[in-house]
A and B are shown apart, each in its own frame.
Chain A
Amino acid sequence: MEFFKKLITAIRGGGRELGEAVLDSQGIRIYEQEIEDAKEAIKKAESDLTGVMAKDMQAGREIERLEKEIAGYEAKALGALDQGDESLAGEVAEKIAELEVELETQKAAKHQFAAHVESVKEMIKQTHAKIREHEREISMVKTTDNVHKAAKSINQHIDGGSSKMVAAKESLERIKHRQQDESDRMAASDALNAELSGESLENKLKAAGIGEKSDRKRQVLERLKAKQQDSAN
């Protein structure tokens, strides 16, 4: 958001090297370095994450083992109690107490590992978002700079006369005129084709005794009839 505003201010200010103005104010190299650092941090965090997740899984297995062991000793303690051997049951209870302390320690450790995994994941997510944001900003600055430089060259090219900038409406008129010429040419060629094929049709009709020839015969006959009528009168 902040970045957009700065870019707008630079573009609205115009005139100067737009991109460079923003590049300077933003310290593009620092940005790029930040992106590099962030990528490194993510690499390290991901490798840390693998380590912590492994420890988390180890703690999980250890907890499972301890719980089984405790259950086993509990069964044994109950057996001793059933046999009325209080002293043996007491020894087993002590062993169970030791195992329970170890279990609590493993559970606490597992909890910490899990929390660590979550925080590293969150950190990686945030760093990715930061990289994406910086990369987008740098891309905007570089595009602005690139387009500005390209526009400068294009303007020089146009003003240089090799492709003079013509008013838009005039350009459109010229282009439409040329397109009209082209379509007139095509229409003329179509007409010509039609005429040629028409002629050949005329020829075919003539050959079949239809049209001009038969009409002439009729005209001659009428003329003769008219003459006969005249002489009769």
Chain B
Amino acid sequence: MNNLLEKLESVLGMSDSGSLNGLDYEFNPIPSDVEVVQVAFKDREELPIYLTQSESQMICICYLWDDTEVIPDKRAEMLEVMLDMNIPMPLSSFGRIGSRYTIFGALSLDSSAESIARELTVLSDNALDAIEAMSEYLN
């Protein structure tokens, strides 16, 4: 099994200008028991994407907001909208880890560099759109 950094190197090797589908980026491994790599897109540094891989899949996660940011009266409606949006949203789904809402995409371990690149850029675009669309439910 190739490690994540090797895979990302191949994604980097694919793009000659250090940009993925028009977005400049950089990636850094972060210390962890399991492999985790942070991918930050230029001008979108507030919303980095974290990649990790288990035995069966590679997961790309972007943290969106914390439960404390949700307007309590609108919480149920927000959750319903997130469920409704899960299917139409390209390549990504909403999720939650602890108290933090996320948007994530899962990839097969043998995904090509092109698929990884597309996943990362679509996920980043989805994250921005999602926050914008859901901001009425947030403080």
Which single residue of chain A is at the shortest CB-CB distance from B36? A150
CB distance from B27 to the nearest CB of A (A): 13
- Give bound CA distance, A10 to B29, whole Å: 29
Q: Mark A169-207, 1 if CB is under 8 A from B, else 0.
A: 111101100110010000000000000000000000000
> Is B82 an interface residue when CB atoms closer than 8 A count as contact?
no
Contacts of B56 in A (CB 8 A): 139, 142-143
From known contacts A163-B38, A163-B48, infer whether A154 and B55 are also in contact, taking CB-CB under 8 Å. no
Residue of B46, B52, B98, B139 touching A166 (CB-CB under 8 A): B46
The verdict on A208 contacting chain B, using a C-beta distance below 8 Å, is no
State whether B46 touches A175 (Cβ < 8 A).
Answer: yes
A165 CB-CB contact with B under 8 Å: yes
3 nearest A-B residue pairs (beta carbon): A153-B32, A171-B46, A168-B65
State the CA gap A228–B43 with chains docked (Å).
68
A107 → chain B, closest Cβ, in Å? 49
Chain B, interface residues (CB within 8 Å), range: 35 or more
Docked pose: A143 CA to B109 CA in angstroms: 13
| Cβ contact of B98, chosen from A14, A149, A167, cutoff 8 A | A14
Task: Report the separation of the CA atoms of residues A150 and B58 in the bound assembly, to the nearest whole angstrom.
Answer: 12
Instruction: For A179, list chain B residues within 8 Å (CB).
Output: 43
Q: How far is the CA of A168 from the CA of B2 in the complex (A)?
A: 33
Cβ–Cβ contact A175 & B36, under 8 A: no
Name B40's closest neighbour in chain A (CB-CB). Answer: A163
| Known contacts A147-B59, A149-B32, A153-B31; is-contact A172 B52 (Cβ 8 Å) | no
Q: Which residues of A contact B (CB under 8 A)?
A: 14, 139, 142-143, 145-155, 157-158, 163, 165-172, 174-175, 178-179, 182
Q: List residues of B whose CB falls within 8 A of some A CB.
A: 30-34, 36, 38, 40, 43-48, 50, 52-57, 59, 61, 63-66, 69, 97-98, 100, 128, 131-132, 135, 138-139
Q: What chain B residues lie within 8 Å of A14 (beta carbons)?
A: 98
Given the complex of chains A and B, what is the CA–CA distance between A143 and B52 in angstroms? 10
Whether A139 lies near B54 (C-beta < 8 A) is yes
The interface residues of chain B, by DSSP majority, are classed as: mixed
Partner of B64, one of A147, A157, A168, A175: A168
Chain A residues lying within 8 Å of B135, measured Cβ to Cβ, are 168-169, 172
Shortest B16–chain A CB gap in Å is 22
> Which A residues are CB-close (under 8 A) to B47?
171, 175
**In the complex, A151→B97 CA distance in Å?**
7
**With a CB–CB cut-off of 8 A, which chain B residues contact A172?**
128, 131-132, 135
Tell me if A147 and B46 are in contact (CB < 8 A). no
Contacting residues, chain A, for B97 (C-beta < 8 A): 147-148, 151
Given A139-B55, A146-B54, also A153-B48 (CB < 8 A) = no
Interface centre among A147, A166, A178, by most B CB within 10 Å?
A147
For the complex, what is the distance from the CA of A152 to the CA of B32, rounded to whole Å?
8
Instruction: Give Cα A157 to B49, complex, Å.
Output: 13
Known: A154-B50, A167-B65, A175-B47. A149 touches B33 (CB 8 A): yes
CA distance A166 to B66 in the complex (A): 10
Which among B43, B52, B63 is the interface contact of A178 at CB below 8 angstroms? B43
The chain B residue with its CB closest to the CB of A158 is: B63
B33 to chain A, nearest CB (A): 5
Most B CB contacts (10 A, CB to CB) among A146, A152, A157, A167 go to A146
